[in-house]
Amino acid sequence: MSLEQKLVDRSARLGVIGLGYVGLPLAIEFARAGFEVVGIDIDQSKVDMLGRGESYIKDVPAEHLAEAINSGKFRATTDFSALAEVDTIDICVPTPLSKTRDPDISYIDAAAEEICRYQQPGQLIVLESTTYPGTTEEVILPRLSANGAVAGKDFYLAFSPERVDPGNQDFNTKNIPKVVGGVTPECTRMAKLLYEQTLTTVVPVSSAAVAETVKLLENTFRSVNIGLVNEIAQLCQKMDIDVWEVIRAAATKPFGFMPFFPGPGLGGHCIPIDPFYLSWKARASGFEARFIELAGVVNGGMPAFVVDLVARALNDLGKSVRGSRILICGIAYKKNIDDVRESPALDILSLLEERGGELSWFDPWVDSLRDYEQVSRVEDLSPATLAEFDCAVIVTAHENVDYGVLVEHLPRIVDTRDALNGIKSDKIIRL
């Protein structure tokens, strides 16, 4: 039976490499659509949790996971030999930056090596990991073609950028439009057919390189605009103007303006990292992406700017950072999630620690900080707890948390998220 027939009647067996924020939700959606899915991850602890029906991704409800496991539609393993049994393979592995802020595609390389080891005729391979334009054709295609196999005939290869917004109640893996671009038209068609069986909208583009660039444009757009508004926020600080009021008023314009909001720095896997993939590829092509690089500089400097605001707040009390008791409110990179990847709170925490601050942190969504075990966690914002601190920094403002209590019980608060909007107090220093 052809791959096309297997996809249409959903008898195809699907594989997903990498069971993180992208891979696990995708695997479960495939399973819920009726496909038999095997998820592969090198982390044995994740595989063990999934085997017990325990979800470590908030966007994957335990009941959906249990349903997929109990129906026999999903299983997790660390054994890559399972790739020999599947008809399609989605690569959803991390793509971090190196210490020199160059792309690190070692996880893609490792996945491609395993795929080649177990490659079967007629398989569809889709790379979803964010990467620089050209990766699919320059890194994966030569390996799959090494034995003389022809893309679009003997196997199918495409890129489809992951689009994940953790904690978003309106948009999820199923209903976020899915862009796909193959290394040949037939590869594009086959990848489109795969996702059409599960997802609401699939958007084909002319090539894998176009699809790779789509993802980088989306997040570079956000990075550049956030960089602009972060610079405006610093300017407004100098001029004693409320930047949040300025943005709210500007957003009333019904055309030609889209509101972006300042913050303590960029967080999550995408926005702090993806623009550097694009600027790196630009340099490799002999082009200097100055706009992108400048946004990176502005956004990267925001944690230090926040620390300077903390020093200013404490100076108003006749105190220095060294020896002062400082509470970091919010460790996750955005509200209402437990994801701390690239969170600016961690940079702020480190910078304040370097200055000698006595630090604690509060976040109702985050259970622990693996690399900051020396920093104590507070469980609540009760008056008794707050009495211990000289200053608080609101880095992430979760919903249903009363940050107004800080104003009642602390001498100074640095508000980087407009969490205290509408509260007038000399105690507050706003971003």
Tell me the two tokens of residue 263.
Answer: 């913050």
Find the catalytic residue in 187, 236, 270, 329: 270
* pLDDT at site 268: 85
* CATH code, 224: 1.10.1040
Q: How many CA atoms lie within 13 A of 179 on its CB side?
A: 22
Average pLDDT over residues 417-425: 94
Q: Is 116 a catalytic residue?
A: no
Instruction: Single out the residue in 156, 173, 206 at which a domain terminates.
Output: 206
Q: How far is Cα 271 from Cα 299, in angstroms, rounded to an integer?
A: 10
Q: Are residues 330 and 398 in the same domain?
A: yes
Q: Is the pLDDT of residue 105 over 90?
A: yes
Percent of the chain with pLDDT over 90: 89
Q: Are residues 287 and 307 in the same domain?
A: no
* CATH code, 116: 3.40.50.720
The pLDDT tens digits of the residues spanning 309-321 come to 999 999 999 999 9
Q: Are residues 23 and 111 in the same domain?
A: yes
First to last CA, the chain: 61
Domain that residue 364 falls in: 301-431
The pLDDT tens digits of the residues spanning 356-375 come to 999 999 999 999 898 888 89
Q: Are residues 69 and 201 in the same domain?
A: yes
The pLDDT tens digits of the residues spanning 11-33 come to 999 999 999 999 999 999 999 99
The pLDDT tens digits of the residues spanning 276-323 come to 888 998 898 999 999 999 999 999 999 999 999 999 999 999 999 999
Q: How far is Cα 86 from Cα 123, in angstroms, rounded to an integer?
A: 8
* pLDDT at site 59: 87
Q: Are residues 9 and 37 in the same domain?
A: yes
Distances from the Cα of 137 to the Cα of 99, 153, 187, angstroms: 26, 16, 12
The pLDDT tens digits of the residues spanning 174-207 come to 999 999 999 999 999 999 999 999 999 999 999 9
Q: What is the mean pLDDT of the chain?
A: 95
Q: Is the pLDDT of residue 97 over 90?
A: no
Give bridge partners of residue 124 from the DSSP assignment: 88, 156
Q: Is the pLDDT of residue 430 over 90?
A: yes
Q: Are residues 229 and 362 in the same domain?
A: no
The pLDDT tens digits of the residues spanning 217-254 come to 999 999 999 999 999 999 999 999 999 999 999 999 99
Q: How many domains does the chain have?
A: 3
Q: Is the pLDDT of residue 272 over 90?
A: no
CB-based burial label for 13 (10 Å; 0-12, 13-18, 19+): middle
Q: Are residues 197 and 215 in the same domain?
A: no
